Chain A
């Protein structure tokens, strides 16, 4: 009886590890995609709306990126510059949201570089800044997509197979 329970536990544990590793890759891909969509939305609003950045940021949020944009919007009223507001909102998002926690350092740097020019110039420059970000995001997203397609399945399979092997060893 105890052995059967141990087998089930080991199998479930290994499978969970595999699925979790795979879902982190999916989360990263989805967060990047949602973020790209939010930035796109933000910039298109900037080009025709004369509303302040804090308001546009609040409107740009999606379900996946809400934690970041809501705080960023609030921090803009407190922080001296956009970069500082961006940094503190990103730190908070990484601590409280698995999607943001799954982002790599190089991706965060791209966002920080984008934030340095955000709101500080006219709409023409904002459009250029956004185009630059989209270009960088495209390559990062393509890599994230590949990683999920290749490694995601692999981690899931490894998890299940390891679980099965360990269960058999315990038999």
Chain B
């Protein structure tokens, strides 16, 4: 069995304290009571992921009971790192046992590819694999290049397995502020530092708008899922529920996807993750001129930094985006709305500590 060590940025905790530090489980299995709503965090990741690991690690992980694991990081020759919300844990193998070897990493990738590496070339080229269930495996290794750029990754040295967890209701607190009187949505940008729940909130926002929940009217949505994270499609099957009126364009670059969707899908709303480039902004601007509402996310730590990111600020100035939602961590917990702003970055909400959308 692996031996374990818990590391918390604020304090070192003993193994007995490892448990679920900030989530109160009730007696109904996997349901968690949070901020007047119940969110299912069924730990089905073990079913979907344990088969990937070498036998010793598989056995150890199957005995992990803490809720909820965000990431499993595996590095050649290093202990396995389990990332929880605001804390982490290192798994060391027993003495005289090999740590995770290069062969183990290669075997994990091979199993993740269903022994069909040839079928995942595009994903390997992009450095990640999306598994059934929406889990993502980020890859690090030796890049093999050709004239067209990176052809594939070989000699995998580390893997970051990010466990997908749907949080239905994550956008409940946001919807009333993001919907107009006629039920349509404001063009919205969700911003936060990495790991604060942008994608989770955006995903639920898409689902709710598609169904027409919480005061919104049902709308046709086109999702441009460049990194295949929003829908987590595996062979054309979305692993996350994005609603009944949602079309998903996978693996396509945002500018191309946006133009293609506007031309062919006649969406009322365009949704995409991680805006950043000038071309992205230009395509969104064109879509806005066509009357299509954009809902997107971006890596920005605070709204004032939008002034410095001319590409994003230009969208606010032109009216292609009218609302900015700032997500962040409060007391180390992700999934808090720290503020909702209008197009001129005036704060529309003022609540100390933010509104809890979901917790992980």
Contacts and interface: CB of A to CB of B under 8 A. Distances in A.
B107 A51 contact: no
A54 interface: yes
Contacts, number: 54
A53 interface: yes
A120 B117 contact: yes
Interface string B86-110: 0000000000000000000011001
A126 B118 contact: yes
Contacts of A49: 119
A81 interface: yes
Interface in A65-80: 76, 80
What does DSSP make chain B's interface, helix, strand, loop or mixed?
helix
A49 B121 CA distance: 12
B115 interface: yes
A169 interface: no
A51 B116 contact: yes
Which 4 pairs across A and B sit closest by C-beta, in order of nearness?
A52-B114, A119-B115, A50-B119, A123-B118
B115 A122 contact: no
A54 B118 contact: no
A119 B106 CA distance: 12
B152 A52 contact: no
B104 to A, nearest CB: 11
Interface of B: 55, 106-107, 110-111, 113-121, 124, 151-152, 235
A125 B151 CA distance: 13
A106 interface: no
Nearest to A123: B118
A51 B115 contact: no
Contact of B121 (A54, A80, A123): A123
B251 to A, nearest CB: 12
A122 B107 contact: no
Q: Which of B106, B117, B118 gathers the greatest number of chain A CB atoms within 10 Å?
A: B118
Contacts of B114: 52-54, 76
